[in-house]
Structure 1
Amino acid sequence: MSFDPMAVAVDWLDAYRAGDIESILDMYAEDAVVHCGFGGFKTITGREALRADWIDRLQKYPAGSLDDLNPYHDGTILSYVTSTGVVNALFAFDAAGRIKELNLARSH
């Protein structure tokens, strides 16, 4: 692995906290899939759908501080605080270090 999965996840959270949609979108692989399990389960694919989701997410669920960070198989689990509670983000990456799958769920 030529990248640090935990560092990519932290960079994602930093871009999220900064509201930098372009940097966030550049972190995803072209065929990325995002599964979001809160606010109604949805699956998001494609750059324009990701952009629309991020515009909505930044308004409704701005990210706060990092809660926890751990390696998970070939990916990372990152937990962060929002105004509505803690969210767990499970990242899977492609060989280039871009996000190929992201699963978001509320922490219990």
Structure 2
Amino acid sequence: MRDFDQMGIVIDWVDACRTGDLAMLLDLYADDAQLECSCNGTNHYRGRSELETYWQPRLNAYSTAGFGLEEISPVPNGVDVEYSVAGSLRIHATFRFSPEGKIYSTVCEPARQNPPDRSCC
């Protein structure tokens, strides 16, 4: 196993999401990577073609609505990220990596959403 910067790979992933760069995003994944998304039912995607089908419409939406990194932290065997879309919808994602330094597995689900601001002037 070679040494690689897991956090750096996820920062590159964030950058690809912010800029809507599908090719860059897909290049971060291993050829046989898998993604499990529980944001709207549970859906599974495997391999570059299925990941492209998953990511293409989302990247278009992210670049229009805005994509923000809220939290990033190393966890045993990977990295956890919380990001927001349009400044409000929050998503939690966990990344696992192949020995070659590619994203092998991503699991995402809705994160705890920010409560509405109820402050008074």
| TM-score, length basis structure 1 | 0.91
Counterpart-to-counterpart distance in 2, 1:94 and 1:46: 14
Question: Structure 2 regions of 5+ residues with no counterpart?
Answer: 113-121
1:74-85 correspondence runs (5 A): 74-83=77-86, 85=89
Q: Which amino acid aligns with 1:107?
A: A
Give the counterpart of 1:73 among 68, 76, 87: 76
**What is the Cα-based RMSD across aligned positions, in Å?**
1.5
Match of 1:101 among 65, 84, 105: 105
Counterpart code for 2:13 = W
After the TM superposition, list the runs of 4 or more consecutive aligned residues in structure 1 that deviate by more than 2 angstroms.
Answer: 59-63
| Matched AA of 1:85 | L
Find the residue that maps to 1:56 and give its secondary structure: helix
For 1:21 and 1:77, how far apart are their aligned partners in 2? Answer: 21
| Secondary structure of 2:23's aligned partner | helix
Partner of 1:40: 41
Q: How does 1:1-108 map to 2 (within 5 A)?
A: 2-62=3-63, 64-83=67-86, 85-108=89-112
TM-score, normalising length: structure 2: 0.82
Equivalent-residue separation in structure 2 for 1:27 and 1:10 (angstroms):
11
Name stretches of at least 5 consecutive residues in structure 1 with no aligned partner: none
> Residue in 1 aligned with 2:115?
none
Shift of 1:60: 4.0
* One-letter code aligned to 1:72: V
Secondary structure of 2:71's counterpart equals strand
